[in-house]
Amino acid sequence: MIDVLGIRGYSQWSNMQGRGSETGDPHYGNHTWPEINSAILTIVEDDQVEKILQKVKNLDHINKDVGIRAFVWDITGGY
In this prediction, residue 78 carries a pLDDT of 67
Nearest 5°: the CA angle 69, 73, 79 is: 135
Query: What is the spatial distance between Cα 77 and Cα 79, in angstroms, rounded to a whole number?
Result: 6
Number of domains in the chain: 1
Strand partners, 41: 11
Q: Is a pLDDT exceeding 80 seen at residue 27?
A: yes
52-67 pLDDT tens trace: 999 999 998 997 777 7
The share of the chain scoring above pLDDT 70, in percent, equals: 97
Judged by DSSP in three states, 49 sits in: helix
Domain that holds residue 56: 1-79
Q: Output the pTM of the full model.
A: 0.77
